[in-house]
Amino acid sequence: MVKPPILLKGLSGKRRTPGWLAVLVSIGILFCAALAGIALFSPVLNRQDVGNSFETASQYSLIDAGISIIGFGVLIILLTFAWVRFYEQRTLVSLGLGAHFLPKLIRGVLAGLVTVTLLATCLIVFFDASVTLALTQVPFAAFLMGLLLLPLAWLVQAVSEEVLFRGFLLQSLGLKYGLLVAVVVSSLLFAGLHFEDGGSGTFYFVANSLLALFLCLYTVFTNSLWGPVGFNLSWNFAQHIVFGVTLLDSGREEIAIYDALSRAPKLLTVETSTSAYATSFIAVTLVLLVVMSILTVNERMKP
């Protein structure tokens, strides 16, 4: 079977990482980044306790969330780059971060915004999620700062996830075991990393696995990471800041980064349950997979 071009970019180095080692390296990178992130950035997150008013807490939380997200993302990018540069002796660009990226990035951002809008609509229409205008509760200047800082933070975070899961891991596994195994393994690891994001649970794990599957297919379809990077960016930004999706029974605010994000300025607040969110999440990702399948079939049928 002919391997997709995105996988063949993994042959550009002088040395290849075996599939089993790529899995261990990926887990190690995530573990090291988490430990370093806790040591370097958790003191920053504690600053939000300084303010007693909602306004002060929100302003601190905006900075805390941005620094934390950027910090973890940068660490993952640096560690991944170090491995492919010094062990495989190839560039980070060969993972799928080629030139002429802006159109692909913009299309990914738009696709993510449409998807989250569909998700929020599903929650409101089918699960009676409550919607409130949150912008009036915080200074408008703080909200504008959020529009500048947090997209940058999630851009770094999106690049880190796509480079590791849909770049390095997908290529390494795909060259050795084929695309199917690479997609399944990288998607399961991605879902495991995000297990606590939505209050855990089997349905949420399945939803994240399906989302990761879509991002893998998106990467293969476009032969680039930039579309998935844009989607990843807007998926996080739209959920946390535009729609402010809040899971009432998840306990996710006990995690420092989610506590900071819950306080950060946002446009709307959509409150729902974890079960409703997981169900809507799965439905939306299934739609994404159908759309990507149609696009792929149409592309292959072109003369």
At residue 56 the predicted structure's pLDDT band, cuts being 50, 70 and 90, is: very low
Buried b (16+ CB within 10 A) or exposed e, 223-239: bbbbbbbbbbbbbbbbb
Question: Tell me, what's the pLDDT at 51?
Answer: 42
Q: pLDDT tens, 118-137?
A: 999 999 999 999 999 988 77
Q: Confirm if 154 and 233 have CB atoms less than 8 A apart.
A: yes
Let me know how many helices (H) and strands (E) the chain has, helices first.
Answer: 11, 3
State the Cα–Cα distance between residues 223 and 68, nearest whole angstrom. Answer: 30
At residue 100 the predicted structure's pLDDT band, cuts being 50, 70 and 90, is: confident
Higher per-residue confidence, 255 vs 79: 79
What tokens does 222 get?
């476009």
Range(s) of the domain holding residue 146 = 5-300
Q: pLDDT tens, 187-231?
A: 999 998 877 665 557 888 899 999 999 999 999 999 999 999 999
**Residue 234: pLDDT over 50:** yes
Among the listed ranges 109-113, 262-266, 270-274, which one has the minimum average pLDDT value?
Answer: 262-266
State the Cα–Cα distance between residues 32 and 76, nearest whole angstrom. Answer: 8
* High-pLDDT (> 70) share of the chain, %: 86
Q: Average per-residue pLDDT in the chain?
A: 86
Q: Confirm if 45 and 117 have CB atoms less than 8 A apart.
A: no
**Residue 112: pLDDT over 90:** yes
State the total domains in the chain. Answer: 1
Give the residue from 250, 287, 276, 269 showing the smallest Cα distance to 126: 276
Question: Tell me, what's the pLDDT at 144?
Answer: 79
- Element (H or E) spanning 201, and its range? none
Q: Confirm if 212 and 190 have CB atoms less than 8 A apart.
A: yes
What tokens does 240 get?
């946390």
Question: Once rounded to an integer, what is the mean pLDDT over residues 250-261?
Answer: 69
**What are the Cα distances from residue 65, in Å, to 46, 58, 224, 254?**
11, 10, 28, 14
At residue 55 the predicted structure's pLDDT band, cuts being 50, 70 and 90, is: very low
Question: Once rounded to an integer, what is the mean pLDDT over residues 8-33?
Answer: 93
Integer-rounded Cα Rg, in Å, for the chain is: 19
Question: Tell me, what's the pLDDT at 266?
Answer: 86
Q: pLDDT tens, 145-190?
A: 777 888 998 999 999 999 999 999 999 999 999 999 999 999 999 9
Among the listed ranges 107-116, 201-210, 223-232, 274-283, which one has the minimum average pLDDT value?
Answer: 201-210
